[in-house]
Amino acid sequence: MDNIVERIVEFAALYGLRVIGAIVIFVIGRWVAKLVRQVVERMLTKGNVDTTLVKFAGNLTYGLLIVVVVLAALNQVGVQTTSFIAIIGAAGLAIAFALQGSLANFAAGIMLIVFRPFAVGNFVQAGGEMGIVEEITLFTTQMRSPDNKVIIVPNSNITGGNIVNFSAKETRRVDLTIGVSYSDDLQKVKAVLADILAKDERILKDPEPTIGVVALADSSIDFAVRPWVNATDYWGVYFDTLQTVKERFDAEGIQIPFPQRDIHIYRDPSSLAPSA
């Protein structure tokens, strides 16, 4: 019985302080990890970083610090942590290879959130798709197409190609090409086009619209008609201007040519000779 008590006392003397030290390291380390997470989240929030990225960065920082704290506590007890570190490293490498596609989307998601090439509500063309951005997550971006379909695009597809943001600027230029006949008076055509644009209140005065001959095509003289509008008025002006041009040209006697082809038929004179 005395031997058992002596062994318990020796064990307590040998490992008791280590266990207490490990507990202290874990408690204090956990408190420090929470404090660091709060500091990181506060700094990112002040930098106007997206909320999704703020939460993710805070949780990632906290998780990494907790791993370090646990390893430090185990080392205090006397557990060899070298093997644990090797196992964690090998597991991380294996997971990285298995999830390399997801990690690429994740990295691309961080780039989209940090650099902000577009925001929710913008109309963009990206990743081979076109639509209004509804949500940006760490792995995918959700769009709504003009015909109200939901499109989910992997973030790596977006950052790997060109991004066209139609909503980035407040104004846009409407590019129209209007063809008229070679027999029409070009000055009259230009005056009619200018009058059409001047009567549309949605068209901006500054910068001034551009109207000029852009091409002498095979069957028409093409005018470039390029008014500037607010981005929200783009399609309305586009459609209405085309309709008004057709109506005014009809009223003014200006022809809008369409493809035509003259066919000449030649007969072999021998085929017209009377048969014997």
Is the per-residue pLDDT at 1 higher than 90?
no
Q: Band the pLDDT of 225: cuts 50, 70, 90.
A: very high
Find the range with the poorest average confidence among 109-113, 184-188, 203-207. Answer: 109-113
What per-residue confidence (pLDDT) applies to 9? 56
Is the per-residue pLDDT at 113 higher than 90?
no
What per-residue confidence (pLDDT) applies to 53? 66
Contact of 119 with 133, CB cutoff 8 Å: yes
CATH 1.10.3720.10 applies to domain 11-98: no
**Which pLDDT tens digit goes with each residue over 62-112?**
888 888 888 777 777 666 666 666 666 666 666 555 555 567 887 888 888
Q: Band the pLDDT of 124: cuts 50, 70, 90.
A: very high
Contact of 181 with 221, CB cutoff 8 Å: yes
**Which pLDDT tens digit goes with each residue over 14-53?**
566 677 777 888 888 888 888 888 887 787 777 666 666 6
Could you give the CA distance from residue 67 to residue 39 in angstroms, rounded to a whole number? Answer: 19
Q: Is the pTM of this model over 0.85?
A: no
**Residues listed for the chain:** 276
Could you give the CA distance from residue 205 to residue 64 in angstroms, rounded to a whole number? Answer: 58
What per-residue confidence (pLDDT) applies to 211? 95
Is the per-residue pLDDT at 5 higher than 60?
no
What per-residue confidence (pLDDT) applies to 71? 76
Is the per-residue pLDDT at 205 higher than 60?
yes
Is the per-residue pLDDT at 119 higher than 70?
yes
Mean predicted confidence (pLDDT) in 223-227: 96
Average pLDDT over the chain reads 82
What per-residue confidence (pLDDT) applies to 269? 65
Run of H or E including 26: helix 2-46
Is the per-residue pLDDT at 218 higher than 80?
yes
For the chain, how far is it from start to end, CA to CA, in angstroms?
144
**DSSP strand pairing (171-173 vs 164-165):** unpaired
Of 161, 186, 175, residue with least CA distance to 235:
175
Is the per-residue pLDDT at 273 higher than 80?
no
Q: Which CATH class is domain 117-165?
A: mainly beta
List the beta bridge partners of residue 221: 180, 216
CB hemisphere CA count around 19 (13 angstroms): 6
Q: Is 121 exposed, middle or buried (0-12, 13-18, 19+ CB in 10 A)?
A: exposed
Architecture of domain 171-252: 2-Layer Sandwich (3.30)
Mean predicted confidence (pLDDT) in 191-217: 94
What per-residue confidence (pLDDT) applies to 80? 66
**Which pLDDT tens digit goes with each residue over 138-176?**
788 999 999 999 999 999 899 888 999 998 899 999 999
Higher pLDDT: 143 or 270? It is 143
Ranges for all domains in the chain classified under CATH 1.10.287.1260? 11-98
What per-residue confidence (pLDDT) applies to 243? 95
Could you give the CA distance from residue 121 to residue 143 in angstroms, rounded to a whole number? Answer: 9
Run of H or E including 151: strand 150-154
Higher pLDDT: 126 or 18? It is 126
Residues 6+ apart with CB under 8 A from 200: 227, 237, 240, 241, 244
Q: Which two tokens stand for residue 221?
A: 């003289």
φ, ψ (nearest 5 deg) of residue 223: -100, 135
Ranges for all domains in the chain classified under CATH 2.30.30.60? 117-165
**Percentage with pLDDT > 90 across the chain:** 39
Contact of 216 with 179, CB cutoff 8 Å: no
Contact of 88 with 67, CB cutoff 8 Å: yes
